[in-house]
Amino acid sequence: MTDYDDTNRGSIWPNDRKETDKHPDFTGSLNVEGRDYWVSAWKRRPDANPKAPSLSFSIKAKDDYQAPKESEPKADEFEDDIPF
């Protein structure tokens, strides 16, 4: 049996974690020329223009994603202007 090649393919699935209207209706992944991406998609709102796209997408490279870091204090944040 040969290995499946998912290059230039992707899929989206219903987002079971959607809590607000700002969260995507669908999430998934995409591979373009060997690079992996996260995909988020939103359905057209019922009150939108009928000529509007059925789905809108947001795509972010998986290797560009970095977990949020704790903010590091700037060097001058600890300097006081109070003379002793």
pLDDT tens profile 19-53: 999 999 999 999 999 999 999 999 999 999 989 98
pLDDT of residue 29: 96
Residue 37 lies in a domain: yes
pLDDT at 75: 54
- Note down the domain range covering 57: 10-65
pLDDT at 40: 96
Is residue 70 domain-resident? no
Higher confidence at residue 47 or residue 82? 47
The CA distance from 9 to 74, in Å, is 44
* Distance in angstroms (rounded) separating the CA atoms of residues 62 and 38: 6
Decide: helix, strand or coil at residue 76: helix
Residue 71 within any structural domain of the chain: no
Q: Given this model, what pLDDT does residue 83 score?
A: 59
Percent of the chain with pLDDT strictly greater than 90: 57
Cα–Cα distance between 28 and 59 in angstroms, integer?
10
> What is the count of structural domains for the chain?
1
pLDDT at 77 over 90: no
